[in-house]
Structure 1
Amino acid sequence: MEDSQVAFRLEPGATGFRDRGDPPLPRTDPQPCRAAWFAAARAAGGQVEDFTEREYPQNFHVATISDRDGAHIALFHAYYPLIAFVGDRRYWYTDEFQEPPAWATALTDSGFVVLSTAQLLSPLTEWDTSTLSATERRQIKHWRPKTLGATLFNSWD
């Protein structure tokens, strides 16, 4: 892993799955996500086009800001305060991640972790997955995500 990457351990539920007997997953409340997105739009000198709450089986909310540079689409993880930027809306993501715009610092100022392309496209094997549940490990074995981004932002069922 590159020194420039901010490493973190994937916490239980990072995939959006849990064992039946485990406590409920934490939730990223959509309201603070929306508030942070509107603050980011102000920082970008743009406007919020939409904010769509997750729909099963997706484990992320999707939001768009338009500014002078075009449309910027972000994925807000539904269980942890993680954000990824992508080029277009899809049902799921594997390697379509993009570098965050400069104004994404407004999101980190709101308590979110904005992930870089290098982090999102790095092999899952480079990350600490030791705390993931047996259910999550089975899902990873079944779906075979190759990257951190594909693991965190998925539509597995």
Structure 2
Amino acid sequence: MDGSQTVFCLQRGSTGFRSLSDPPVPETDSRACRAAWYAAARAARGQVRDFTEKQYPQNFHTGTINDRDGTHFGLFHAQYLLIAFVGDRRQWYTAEFQEPPAWAVALGEFGFTVLGASLLLSPLTGADSTALSAAERKQIRYWQPETLGATLFKFWD
């Protein structure tokens, strides 16, 4: 091993912000997110308790699965095929990210990247943000999220 680390690259639109002069940001299909969540519940031998589409100013959809190990809360990024797991449902997240359950690998079959807690809790300063737009950088300076997870799964307006 050479000691180098893979750096997470924030893509344009990953904060959900843009100026009116910027091209539209990509959007994930909430129906695809819902279908993946139901497939994950089957893999978990659990039940979907709910799946809720994003509501402004959130940039993520939320879902809950109950299985024999308890309740699992997933956050589906609204712009990219990313998912994170948290301990409970809130409007925004800073340090509440958790490691995904083992059955979350089923989400990868639908094209989702399942993000682990160590990555989400890593300092934003360690991420490659060169692809972000000027509008996104301005919002980051204003809101000052400290972690990658707080930047990706946000409740800023």
Residue 113 of structure 1 pairs with residue 116 of structure 2: no
Give structure 2 stretches of 5+ with no counterpart: none
CA, structure 1 residues 60+6, in 2 after alignment: closer, same or farther (shift >3 Å)?
farther
- The alignment's TM-score, normalised by the length of structure 1, stands at 0.95
Provide the residue aligned with 1:75 in structure 2. 75
Residue 145 of structure 1 pairs with residue 145 of structure 2: yes
Provide the residue aligned with 1:91 in structure 2. 91
Provide the residue aligned with 1:34 in structure 2. 34
- The alignment's TM-score, normalised by the length of structure 2, stands at 0.95
CA distance in 2, matches of 1:66, 1:115: 20
Residue pair 1:50, 1:63 contacting (<8 A) in 2 also = yes
Residue pair 1:5, 1:119 contacting (<8 A) in 2 also = no
RMSD: 1.4
Taking only the aligned residue pairs, the percentage that are identical comes to 66
The runs of at least 4 consecutive aligned structure 1 residues that moved more than 2 Å come to: 3-8
Q: How far is the alpha carbon of 1:110 from its aligned partner?
A: 1.1
CA distance in 1, matches of 2:4, 2:20: 37
Provide the residue aligned with 1:48 in structure 2. 48
Please give the secondary structure, in 2, of the residue aligned with 1:122: coil
Q: How far is the alpha carbon of 1:80 from its aligned partner?
A: 0.5
The residue identity in structure 2 corresponding to 1:18 is: R
Residue 13 of structure 1 pairs with residue 13 of structure 2: yes
Aligned pair count reads 155
CA distance in 1, matches of 2:107, 2:56: 25
Q: How far is the alpha carbon of 1:6 from its aligned partner?
A: 5.5
CA distance in 2, matches of 1:50, 1:44: 15
CA, structure 1 residues 145+117, in 2 after alignment: closer, same or farther (shift >3 Å)?
same
Provide the residue aligned with 2:66 in structure 1. 66
Q: How far is the alpha carbon of 1:23 from its aligned partner?
A: 1.2
The residue identity in structure 2 corresponding to 1:150 is: A
Q: How far is the alpha carbon of 1:8 from its aligned partner?
A: 3.0
The residue identity in structure 1 corresponding to 2:22 is: D
Please give the secondary structure, in 1, of the residue aligned with 2:107: helix
Q: How far is the alpha carbon of 1:145 from its aligned partner?
A: 0.3
Residue pair 1:5, 1:118 contacting (<8 A) in 2 also = no
CA distance in 1, matches of 2:105, 2:5: 16
CA distance in 1, matches of 2:9, 2:99: 21
Q: How far is the alpha carbon of 1:7 from its aligned partner?
A: 3.6
Question: Structure 1, residues 20-70: CA drift from partner, whole Å, max 9, x if none?
Answer: 111111001001101100110000000101000000000000000000011
